[in-house]
Amino acid sequence: MARRLRNVILAAVAVLWLIPSYLVVVNAFTAPAEYSGPRWWFTSFAFVDNIAVAFRTAAIGQAMWNSFLYSTGAALIAVLVAALASFAVVVMPVRRSALWFWAIYTGTILPLQVFLSPLFNGYAATSLYDTQYGMVLIYAAIAVPFAFFVIRNYMTTAPRELMEAAQLDGAGWLTMFVRIHLPVARGALVAAFLFQFLATWNDLLFGITLSTSPNVRPVMAALAELNGQYSGLGPPVILAAGIVASVPTVALFLSFQRFFVNALRLAP
């Protein structure tokens, strides 16, 4: 009886989550000229036309390439820095390792909005504003604390015998990091990369604050502009562009979902 009740509740929750997604798909297929309000069933199949309008009007294709560049570059940099910091805190004889852990992890506690004003002023003063390398830099910086949290938790579970055996063989810290701890922590590295890739891809806050040019702005900022400046195009065009922009993240999650589950298990 309890199992049946649980299944009913899960099915009801799944339906509640799927209804908005279903409405997005249905209305994205609607021709703008025929749209007079939310549709519950397909009345036309103008999805491809809506996508073409969005790509031509708001440069969604360029924005998706920008987001891919930022997400990949920032995640790689953040994972590398976080792996080095985790190795130093967990493996190397660093004094006050707990203090270093909290100093880095505190970056996940502060709301990102507190950084906007100093970041904008600093970027404007150093010519980083509205540049691709400036966007990669900020996305990598805000991604380090959480990546450090995931990788550090995994490294604490690594057998100490590996380090002791490597030290007996005369391995230095760099050799131990590259040849032992990185391969052992591969699952955590992939999980941290995926988390940061998705977080950067879905970011809107820094995208609309630190970029304006079509060749720099990420995809979420382009969608926001499509919804504002080009609102006369109609909701179907915006919804179709939103679906296309969501495809990479959905495909990535479905392909590597076991790494997300493993990452959640790393949390204490």
State residue 204's pLDDT score: 85
Q: Rounded to whole angstroms, how far apart are CA atoms 170 and 31? A: 69
Per-residue pLDDT of the chain (268 residues; tens, 9 = 90+): 667 777 778 888 877 877 777 777 777 777 766 666 666 777 777 777 777 877 777 778 888 899 999 999 999 999 999 888 888 887 777 777 677 777 777 766 777 777 788 888 888 888 888 888 888 989 998 888 888 888 887 777 766 766 666 666 666 767 777 777 777 777 788 888 888 888 898 888 888 888 888 888 898 888 887 776 656 667 777 777 788 888 888 887 777 766 656 555 554 4
Count of CA atoms in the C-beta half-sphere (13 A) of 224? 16
Sequence-distant (6+) residues with CB within 8 A of 99 are none
Query: By three-state DSSP, how is residue 45 classified?
Result: coil
Cα 58 to the center of its chain, rounded Å? 22
Tokens 């995926």, residue located: 194
State residue 221's pLDDT score: 85
Query: By three-state DSSP, how is residue 234 classified?
Result: coil
Provide φ and ψ at 143, rounded to 5°: -85, -20
For the domain 60-266, what is the CATH code?
Answer: 1.10.3720.10
Helices and strands (DSSP H and E) totals, the chain: 14, 0
Q: What is the DSSP string of 62-128?
A: HHHHHHHHHHHHHHHHHHHHHHHHHHHHHTS--TTHHHHHHHHHGGGTS-GGGGHHHHHHHHHHTT-
Q: Rounded to whole angstroms, how far apart are CA atoms 162 and 245? A: 44
- Provide the whole-model pTM: 0.79
Instruction: Show the tokens assigned to 252.
Output: 């990535």
Q: Rounded to whole angstroms, how far apart are CA atoms 189 and 36? A: 48
Q: Rounded to whole angstroms, how far apart are CA atoms 147 and 154? A: 11
State residue 166's pLDDT score: 65
> What is the number of residues in the chain?
268
Query: By three-state DSSP, how is residue 1 classified?
Result: coil
